Chain A
Amino acid sequence: MLALVVTPASAGAAAMPPLVAACSGCHPANGGDPMLPRLTGRNAGEIVAAMKAFRTGSRPATVMDRIAKGFTDGEIEAIAAWYAAQR
């Protein structure tokens, strides 16, 4: 089920899965802003750990705590895996 959700849409292996589209307004596949952490190419484990810490509140946040609570472990792992695989 989850695998289906994050399967790239088209021939392009880098095509952004729908779940990542939700994040990409602030964390785009390319570039980004110094204020907003770049996720592209980042270690998947780091992203997952940060999201889980945001979710429990153990990592301080302005908005990421509110956002992280909306995603399951599986979704977080899928999002992290996609960003980690991009260059």
Chain B
Amino acid sequence: MNPRTKTADARASRRDVLRGAAAATAAQWPLPAIAQSIPRVVVVGGGFGGASCARALRDSGASVSVTLVEARRVYTAPPLSNAVLGGLRPLAAQQFGYDKIAAAGVTVAHAAATAIDSPTRSVTLATGDKLSYDRLVLAPGIDLRFDTLPGYSEAVAAELPHAWTADGAQIELLQRQIESMDDGGLVAITVPANPARCPPGPYERASMIAYYLKNKKPRSKLVIIDAKEEFTMQSLFQNAWTALYPGMIEWAPPSKGGDIASIDVAKHEIDTDFDTYKFAVANVIPPQRAAKITALAGVADRTGWCPIDPVTFESLQQKNIHVIGDAAIAGAMPKSAFAASVEGKLCADAIIRLIGGKTPAASKLISNCYSLVGRDYAISTTGVYQPVSGEYVEVEGAGGVSPLAAPAAFRAEEAKLADAWFRTNTREIFG
């Protein structure tokens, strides 16, 4: 590549980054004279947390400039994406762009954030552009800790998909592998310990893959190699498996051989302390931590996650930086898209109050997560949370899971509610 081409490329990518700017906000940035008079909020990460926060900041009507930094042009929403594997939902139903968010007046910069300098309050993008902020919101989600499972790596994920991020290609890969495996094969799903994104997700995934296998490859089996001795909605899931997919799903916690010793991609084997699983397809969901940008910003602690003030979501380690969604330590609240989108709204409200010199308001928060276990069959876990002594705790007497005994109509109603929540929340955020 000669220097001239390089320059042209750099210009093109810079123009690309700026293209998201709607006419209404184009004047606020990058012109510094005007930008300085209006408080600038930069949001890094365009998922359920970040996009919801950017949208809420804009919709508040407050006089702030809002820039959303998101490398992806297409977001593949994780909630309900397991239904794609079951053949119950097209991948396209999970995918959203940022045009409407830009049209609402949010400046969308399609580039990765590569550095954050908290003393000068600026974010550096992969394009070299720097964005100054008065308040920064980090909603970058998780990074997978590829180095924690012997034999697994980012490169191996191209053969043994994790399908655990907002990357549609990983879901498509897993779907293709399940569709092309022989009847009678074994699908292995490895599950990390908590804290991790979407605690019920791996079991919903097992259910949806079993749904597909039962219909298309009924001699096949599925094993869940789990790092945990128990899991959320366990009885509900296991009762459903017995009823819907008898004999198909084996759950192996550490006490029954679920401790992974190594993964051999060439031999298609997962070794645990007790057993060797010879798989046709392996879905490896590695342990996780807050995405790397949080470490670069100095907001992640030794656990790999980000401690926050639950009222403002401001980092306990860096002033003027807020962390929401899966990256944050939000006490008893699960790392769910539902919670992230509410956190985005609460964080937006707190930021507007702080900018206006007002006191942020503590509020209750809901997380309500559905898991699809079959066609027209969903279960849910619900919690109401409030900040007490610096962390979110569950409001006693509220929340819980779907009843263990319920008629088919109840399960079908929950499946419809799952769909309805997804439509409503994604329309609110991306529509």
For B62, the chain A residues whose CB sits under 8 A away are: 9-12
The number of inter-chain residue pairs (CB within 8 angstroms) is 129
Decide if B363 touches A25 in the complex (CB within 8 Å).
Answer: no
Asked if A66 and B424 make an inter-chain contact with CB atoms under 8 angstroms apart, the answer reads no
How many Å lie between the Cα of A47 and that of B341 in the bound state?
A: 23
Interface of A is mostly: loop
- Whether the pair B417, A62 counts as a contact (CB closer than 8 A) is yes
* Contact status B399-A66, CB under 8 Å: yes
Which chain B residue lies CB-closest to A66? B382
Do A70 and B398 touch (CB < 8 A)? yes
Give the distance in Å from the alpha carbon of A57 to the alpha carbon of B62 in the complex: 40
A36 neighbours in B (Cβ, 8 Å):
417, 420-421, 424
The interface residues of chain B lying within 8 Å CB-to-CB of A68 are 398
User: A62 and B398: CB pair below 8 A?
Assistant: no
Task: Let me know if B172 is at the binding interface, CB within 8 A.
Answer: no
Chain B hits for A49, CB < 8 A: none
Q: Write the B401-431 contact mask toward A (1 if CB under 8 angstroms, else 0).
A: 0100000001001101101110111011000
Partner of B61, one of A10, A66, A75: A10
Check A35 against B398 for contact (C-beta < 8 Å).
no
| B353 CB–A CB distance under 8 Å | yes
Interfacial chain A residues near B402, Cβ < 8 Å: 62
B400 at interface (Cβ–Cβ under 8 A)? Answer: yes
A26 and B414 CA atoms in complex are apart in Å by: 13
Contact of A21 with B342 at beta-carbon distance under 8 Å, contacts A10-B356, A67-B366 already known: yes
Are A62 and B410 neighbours in the complex by a CB distance under 8 Å? yes
Q: In the assembly, what is the distance between CA of A23 and CA of B425, in Å?
A: 11
Distance (Å) between the CB of A9 and the closest chain B CB?
A: 5
For the complex, count residues of A whose C-beta is within 8 A of B.
Answer: 35
B242 at the interface (CB under 8 A from A): no
Cβ contacts under 8 Å, A26 to chain B: 368, 420-421, 424-425
Which residues of chain A (6-30) have a CB below 8 Å from chain B?
7, 9-12, 14-19, 21-26, 28
Question: C-beta contact mask, B115-156 vs A, less than 8 Å → 1, else 0?
Answer: 000000000000000000000000000000000000000000
> Would A21 and B420 count as touching, CB distance under 8 A?
no
Contact A18 to B416, CB < 8 A, known contacts A10-B62, A25-B366: no
Inter-chain contact B61/A70, CB cutoff 8 Å: no
Measured between beta carbons, the chain B residues less than 8 angstroms from A66 are: 382, 398-400
Convert B337-355 into 0s and 1s, putting 1 for each residue whose CB lies closer than 8 angstroms to a CB of A: 0100110011001001100
Residue pair B395, A25 in contact (C-beta under 8 Å): no
Instruction: For A10, list chain B residues within 8 Å (CB).
Output: 60-62, 352, 356
| Bound Cα distance A14, B59 (Å) | 10
Q: Which of B's residues lie within 8 Å of A, judged by CB?
A: 56, 60-62, 338, 341-342, 345-346, 349, 352-353, 356, 358-359, 361-366, 368, 380, 382-384, 395, 397-400, 402, 410, 413-414, 416-417, 419-421, 423-425, 427-428
A-B pairs, top 4 by smallest CB distance, nearest first, are: A70-B384, A70-B398, A18-B363, A12-B61
Complex A-B: 30 CB contacts under 8 Å: A4-B361, A7-B361, A9-B60, A9-B62, A10-B352, A10-B356, A15-B349, A18-B345, A18-B346, A18-B362, A21-B56, A21-B345, A21-B346, A21-B349, A24-B345, A25-B342, A25-B421, A26-B420, A26-B421, A32-B424, A33-B424, A36-B420, A62-B417, A67-B368, A67-B398, A69-B384, A70-B364, A70-B384, A70-B395, A71-B384
Q: A24-B342, A34-B420, A66-B400 are in contact. List 6 more A-B contacts (CB 8 A).
A: A19-B364, A33-B424, A35-B420, A62-B413, A69-B384, A70-B383
